[in-house]
Amino acid sequence: MTARARITAPPSQSSTRLMAQIGYEFKNPDLLAQALIHASAVGRHDRGNERLEFLGDRVLGLVIAETLFGARNEAEGDLARRLAHLVKRDALADIAKKLHLGDYLTFAKNDQKDVHRLNANILADALEAVIAALYLDGGLEPARSFIQRFWADLLKPGSAPPTDNKTKLQEWALARGLPLPAYTVVAQDGPPHAPVFDVAVHIEGFGDARGTAPPKKPPNKELLKPC
């Protein structure tokens, strides 16, 4: 069952333009407006588009997984790698840029709006919020149509399953008869809801390498052992 709130105001000109780009006319334009509000622009008891972003992430994952399952006769591991590649932050940010989504976002008055409009995390979150707004306004079909349209190039058949850097490193070590890489969390920064991890990786016979990144999902505690 989808939630449909009563329309409280007609869509603005900017919302009308965005709806034309999306290819869907909202029955409740307030849902789309909410999807475009960054948390910085609202009070402490209203987190802007964050709740919609949470829902949109799940709707996107479902539609991409459903599409991959129907289109490719591949093992679970290959499908999982394709799914992770298609829902990653950079892929979402690129699609958001094609929609010029940053031009429609609302930020706090004293925020650096021009910087935020180019931020990949903010753009990816806003795109997920828009997907949730589509789902709440019209059900799964409008959300599915939007995703299959804007992910069409990424979903084209013929490509090999993507391999993440961690898997590549494991395969490199195993091919040389080396133990699997060992990972250690060196430091953690950022707020609890968006941590950034500084991680060191060690392969026997080689020096340590380090990298920093925000995880899409919580870190695997079995692999990442605090110092």
Residue 46 has which token pair? 């209203």
Out of 57, 78, 114, 204, pick the active-site residue: 57
Tell me, yes or no, if 125 is annotated catalytic. Answer: no
Look at residue 196 and give its three-state secondary structure: strand
What's the Cα-to-Cα distance from 23 to each of 10, 32, 143, 187, rounded to whole Å?
18, 13, 11, 44
Return d(Cα 90, Cα 95) in angstroms, integer.
9
Tell me, yes or no, if 128 is annotated catalytic. Answer: yes
Residue 11, phi then psi, degrees to nearest 5 = -65, 145
Out of 66, 74, 114, 128, pick the active-site residue: 128
Q: Where are the alpha helices (DSSP H) in 155-218?
A: 165-175
Which amino acid is located at 86 in the chain?
Answer: L
Sheet with 209-213, side-by-side order of all strands? 182-189, 196-202, 209-213
Which amino acid is located at 165 in the chain?
Answer: N
Q: Tokens 């929609």 identify what position?
A: 99
Which residues belong to the active site? Answer: 57, 128
